[in-house]
Amino acid sequence: KARVAIVISGEGSNMAALLYASRLPGSVFEIVLVASNNPQAPGLALAEAEGVPTWSLSHKGVARDEFDEALHEALTAARPDAVALAGYMRLLTPAFVERWQGRLLNIHPSLLPNYRGLDTHQRALDAGDSHGGCSVHLVTEEVDAGEVLGQLPVAIRAGDTAESLAQRVRLAEHQLYPATLAAYVSRHQDAGWIERQVDAIAATFPEVL
Ligand code: GAR
């Protein structure tokens, strides 16, 4: 199984969705760490109750690069194949992103490339959009701009507020994130398997490749 670490700041409902999905029969990933910049995050307490290793460090009074270095070390010790940001509400330093690039995923509450950043639901309502939604994307240096791996639209209803829309988008996120993460880590494992076979053939028959 692919080893997945999750990074949260708050509620952790996406973390819970990923964790319970990982415990379904046939899951292709397991959760090896839940990390947070907020030692009081409710999601941490849930992870602990579920027997998942946790790590936390308050970001308050810690320089951003020092915090990211500490997070990097905690993640490295857990040897994850992928890191899933799930409601992690802090910007990451370019150095951190570079070290985890290609293995770092995020869930964002809009149909990217629409509404990067904050207040996504209010902005969709203000624009008169027919749908909000959520996206899982690879994290790159530019915020919410990496390759989109999966999306789920959510219809906007008459009378929706940012809160009511956010609540429904959250339900969609809980479906989208585990499915998209599973597809991503499977593709990578397949790619790794193919690479190893090619290496083995090249070693045995150097004249073939
Ligand atoms: C989710 O809706 C997620 O998409 C959003 O925060 C919420 C976290 O909820 N993330 C962002 O806005 C990232 N910029 P959760 O803690 O219950 O998973």
Atom of ligand 1 nearest to the CA of 106: 13
Under 8 Å CB-to-CB from 142, ≥6 apart: which residues?
none
The ligand 1 atom at the shortest distance from the C-alpha of residue 170 is 2
Sheet with 29-36: list strands edge to edge: 54-56, 29-36, 2-8, 82-85, 104-108, 131-138, 148-155
**188: confidence class by pLDDT, cuts 50, 70, 90:** confident
* Ligand 1: residue whose CA is nearest its atom 8: 87
Q: Quick one: how far is CA 87 from the chain centroid?
A: 8
Separation between Cα atoms, residue 40 and residue 138, nearest integer Å: 27
Q: Say how many Å lie between the CA of residue 50 and the centre of ligand 1.
A: 21
Query: Which amino acid belongs to residue 84?
Result: A
Q: Is 107 in the pocket of ligand 1 (CB under 6 A)?
A: yes
30 close to ligand 1 (CB < 6 Angstrom): no
The response to whether 89 counts as a known ligand-binding position is: yes
Residue with tokens 């929706």, as numbered in its chain? 160
173 lines ligand 1 (CB under 6 A): yes
Q: How far does the centroid of ligand 1 lie from the alpha carbon of residue 175, in Å?
A: 14
At 166, the amino acid letter reads A
Interface ipTM: 0.99
**pLDDT of amino acid 95:** 98
Average pLDDT, the chain: 96
Q: Which residues make beta-bridge pairs with 34?
A: 6, 54
- Residue 149's SS3 state is strand
Nearest CA to ligand 1 atom 3: 87
Cα–Cα distance for residue pair 104/106, rounded to 1 Å? 7
Residue whose Cα lies nearest atom 9 of ligand 1: it is: 87
Model confidence over 131-174: pLDDT tens digits? 999 999 999 999 999 999 999 999 999 999 999 999 999 999 99
Tokens 């194949």 sit at which residue? 81
